[in-house]
Chains A and B, each alone.
Chain A
């Protein structure tokens, strides 16, 4: 047996030499083929998706909306002449997993930026990692945590109004139309706390009063036991609930009040997202009011862009999937996935985006934006963008349940939702 039977070719030494030479070439910029060519490779956008866990019904529709927006985007020529891909990654609606997903999308999947996160506790868990990795992180979460200054320069919310602006713009309507003594029921975590803090302040500014706060753990499955805490002199019950148990929540509320006397009820549609309003047990909702980010039932004055958006995503005029009437959309929120994608396109175009080295330019391009016009890119309506606070502001709808469907009875004005800046992210370093 000779020791030359198996010769490693190329030898270890040769490989090392080659690697050293190649490395030197790359380092000194002597490899023009790779570093200077105009790439035609697809731009990869990471989507942090709540496919499982308590946000699953939102995740299903965010995936469909983002997919439909992507098709529209690529048909119109992609970004900077390059096709666009979206890499969806499930975070289980879990903050801990969220940070890992940000890491995975950036480092392993090689995504240029990340968007789509909805649940605010996941945003809180993930945004710091995005800041460390220096990757633009565009959330669709409604939480006030972006505009409050709690996050970082890499995190922006260009696709949906935050809770502070939403509740502040609607509080005058609630106190003047429904009543001034209000009891609030909300989930006991970041998103619910935004509602508690800002709606309470907004009501006080209108001369009303929130007489009771009822916080419910987000994983709760039974709600009847909370309802006796509602004071009997409550004029308006304000409810906002999320998670898999929302239908149970509304049903038990109906059982509790039944045919007896009840206060006016004003809810965030979150309490009924992905749930059919015509479900048995929800008859009591007739005559109550809801906030909607985007009206689930197609309104009489719907724009052409709104009609085209519904058709593209596959939602009928009642807010259900065109292929399955039992599959109700999370219509009031999911427009943000669509609109954020087009903001990304505009920012990358302005920045002349080529690759991850230009990530900072994308953030700067977005910070320079001031408004988005209503149209196919922004079917929910016009928006104002504040580059300092990284937050978009839009119009809110108040809808009334009439004949088992939601009809808009009030729309806020843009300036109703403005508040003084609490942060200037543009002064922070990258």
Chain B
């Protein structure tokens, strides 16, 4: 294949990776930024979204587009609900101690994975795509749905940004992020904010999963890769900085697409992990993070 089309394909693949990654990582970043919780179970929430999307596609009759739309609404709500419950029942009782929450979310990860294994089974199961058109370029064909995923992810991210910047809920979240105690003194119910933020973070992972599952199939172990890549993105972008997360997701996604197409996907992962190490050494707060006092 010639260089031009080769690059085009690499960029398109990278863009899809970047879009889904931006969604997943923004959930992780939100939770860390506001709650200071390193959520190791984030990949499990992602997997849960995909698995639930499969159940919805089985149970909702009618065309795939309808069941997909239902899944896009229901799955994030259910996953968010489970996350809020986990926050109230577990994380809150640990007083959000950093070490304790890491261990607790590792436990949560195992519980969710084994639950999926028990109720969903060990097989990879396909979910039909809501739209089934292919784009036939002169050099190669490409899935139209993949491009729709990019648009969908961009819309959701825009919505998240609007919520954070222009709604009362967003204001309360930002206030809690800046100073938990002062926020409480001003009458903000910090417990409810935390539960809501944890739910929102998990919900974002679930949306990303619902978008990706027609491409990838639902499987109980699918949360590993998104978790690793999300951490990479969040660390490079700066923990807690949504803007940094977006920029880093684009950077990692596109470079992953280009490097893995031209060379090897394993090399792309090696380089991404190396960049994380370099960022941690030379700029520990990340590209856009604020240096902590």
Contacts and interface: CB of A to CB of B under 8 A. Distances in A.
Given A221-B222, A244-B217, A244-B219, A52 B142 contact: no
Given A245-B217, A247-B126, A280-B128, A225 B136 contact: no
Interface in A203-228: 217, 220-222, 224-228
A51 B122 contact: yes
Contacts of A258: 134, 136, 140-141
A222 B216 contact: yes
A220 B238 CA distance: 28
Contacts of B128: 280
Chain A, interface size category, equals: 20 to 34
Contact of A56 (B13, B122, B140): B122
Query: Which interface residue of B126, B128, B225 has the most chain A CB atoms within 10 A?
Result: B126
A357 to B, nearest CB: 37
Contact of B225 (A221, A227, A228): A221
B265 interface: yes
B143 A244 contact: no
B124 interface: yes
B257 interface: yes
B216 A228 contact: no
Given A217-B265, A217-B266, A232-B1, A260 B141 contact: yes
B141 A221 contact: no
A248 interface: yes
B122 A225 contact: no
B88 interface: no
Contact of B257 (A220, A225, A259, A281): A225
A232 B139 CA distance: 10
Given A255-B142, A257-B141, A280-B132, A244 B123 contact: yes
B273 interface: no
B216 A52 contact: no
Contact of A228 (B124, B140, B215, B222): B140
A257 B9 CA distance: 13
Given A217-B266, A221-B216, A225-B265, A247 B124 contact: yes
Contacts of A232: 1
B22 to A, nearest CB: 16
Contact of B141 (A60, A217, A259): A259
A265 to B, nearest CB: 15
A247 B216 CA distance: 9
Interface string A244-288: 110110001001111110000000000000100001110000000
Contacts of A256: 140-142
B55 interface: no
B30 interface: no
B244 to A, nearest CB: 25
A245 B132 CA distance: 19
B103 to A, nearest CB: 23
Given A225-B10, A225-B13, A228-B9, A255 B261 contact: no
A52 B141 contact: no
A22 interface: no
B117 interface: yes
B67 to A, nearest CB: 14
Nearest to A274: B123
A259 B136 contact: yes
Contacts of B117: 52
Interface string A29-67: 000000000000000000000011100110110000000
Nearest to A275: B126
B132 A57 contact: no
B136 A248 contact: no
Contacts of A57: 122-124
Contacts of A226: 265
A279 B126 contact: yes
Contacts of A217: 265-266
Interface in B92-147: 117, 121-124, 126, 128, 132, 134, 136, 140-143
Contacts of B124: 57, 244-245, 247
Contacts of A221: 216, 222, 225
Interface in B234-293: 257, 260-261, 265-266
A52 B122 contact: yes
Nearest to A232: B1
Contacts of A280: 128, 132
B6 interface: yes
Contacts of B260: 225
Interface string B211-226: 0000111010110010
Interface string B1-25: 1000110011001000100000000
Contacts of A224: 9, 13, 142
A56 B132 CA distance: 29
Contacts of A247: 124, 126, 217
Contacts of B221: 53, 244
Interface in A68-118: none
Interface of B: 1, 5-6, 9-10, 13, 17, 117, 121-124, 126, 128, 132, 134, 136, 140-143, 215-217, 219, 221-222, 225, 257, 260-261, 265-266
20 contacts: A53-B122, A57-B122, A57-B123, A221-B216, A222-B17, A225-B10, A225-B261, A225-B265, A244-B124, A244-B219, A245-B124, A245-B216, A247-B217, A248-B217, A255-B134, A257-B141, A258-B141, A259-B136, A260-B141, A279-B126
4 pairs of A and B residues whose beta carbons are closest in the complex:
A258-B141, A244-B124, A56-B122, A52-B122
